[in-house]
Amino acid sequence: MDEPIRDTRTLVIQLRDRIADLIRDENLQPGDKLPTEAQLTARFKISRPALREALKLLEQDDIIYVEHGRGRFISAISAVQVVRPITVFESVTDMARHYGYKPHNKVLSISEETPDATIAQQLRLGASERVIRIERLRLENDTPIMYCLDYVPRSIVPARLYDIDWSGSLLSLLEQHRQRPRMSAAAVTAVMLPGDVVERNDLRDFGPALLITETCFNAVGIPVIYAIDYHRGSHFSFSLVRK
């Protein structure tokens, strides 16, 4: 029998993930019927309202679908296995760890500046507002695997720049200011590193890169990071599901 659910995620998110695990572990196929609400509440020792919220999340993700009067069924998309979907929002460090890397950050520069038009638009900044620009390399051992530029509204982090350890997690830093990103809008292109970056940082062997430009939003939809990340093409690949 399954043990009571205990971890740091919200109860409904925990339960959603446990039901998704059940679908996989019991090899349920598209069109198969999901166990009833009574069976699931008994299995996971959870209340019926919490269960229904978790089932709604699975329905929103198209993992299951409802036929009124008949029950809930496994959808076709549940059969699609995507190892690292690009639609998942996560920190750059966590993403790299999923690839088996143990990256460390090398801070190349930190500055406060007036944003250009693109950055100001992405971060919804007024004419007089400024940004913090963080330039870093992510290295696996001594090999650069990512070149990253992050722009954060100066108003979010009022401390002096050189009093902050910028080699750590930017998401954790923003969480200290109650501005942790929860979602993002991103675009992906295949490029080479800019020539000045290559020369300045001796990255001639970096090769083709997957450039992800990403605007990250906090829980209430306010943009808090504009990120420009070059992922070394020989070290990363991304997947997606189309529906």
| pLDDT at residue number 8 | 36
The third-level CATH classification (topology) of the domain covering 92-232 is Chorismate lyase (3.40.1410)
Considering only CA atoms, which of 230, 89, 91, 218 is closest in space to residue 155? 218
Mind listing the pLDDT tens digit for each residue in 21-74? 888 888 888 899 999 999 999 999 988 998 999 899 888 877 889 998 899 999
CATH 1.10.10.10 range(s) for the chain read 11-79
Q: Is the confidence at residue 83, as pLDDT, over 60? A: no
Across residues 127-132, what is the average pLDDT? 95
pTM: 0.67
* SS3 call for 105: strand
Which structure tokens are listed for 6?
Answer: 């205990």
From residue 27, give the alpha-carbon distance in Å to each of 1, 41, 74, 133.
18, 20, 11, 48
Q: Is the confidence at residue 211, as pLDDT, over 90? A: yes
From residue 70, give the alpha-carbon distance in Å to each of 16, 54, 66.
21, 19, 8
| pLDDT at residue number 6 | 43
Q: Which neighbouring-strand residues pair with 152?
A: 132
Burial of 55 per CB tally in 10 Å (0-12, 13-18, 19+): buried
| Max Cα-Cα span within the chain | 66
> What proportion of the chain, given as a percentage, has pLDDT over 90?
52
CATH 3.40.1410.10 range(s) for the chain read 92-232
| pLDDT at residue number 3 | 45
CB 209 within 8 A of CB 189: no
Phi, psi of 241 (to 5 degrees): -110, 135
In this structure, which long-range contacts are made by residues 169-174, counting pairs with CB atoms below 8 Å and at least 24 apart in sequence? 169/91, 169/93, 170/91, 170/134, 170/225, 171/91, 174/218, 174/224, 174/225
Phi, psi of 130 (to 5 degrees): -120, 170
Across residues 128-148, what is the average pLDDT? 94
| pLDDT at residue number 198 | 95
* SS3 call for 170: helix
Across residues 70-84, what is the average pLDDT? 73
Q: Which neighbouring-strand residues pair with 71?
A: 67
CATH architecture of 11-79: Orthogonal Bundle (1.10)
Block residue for tokens 């190892």: 83
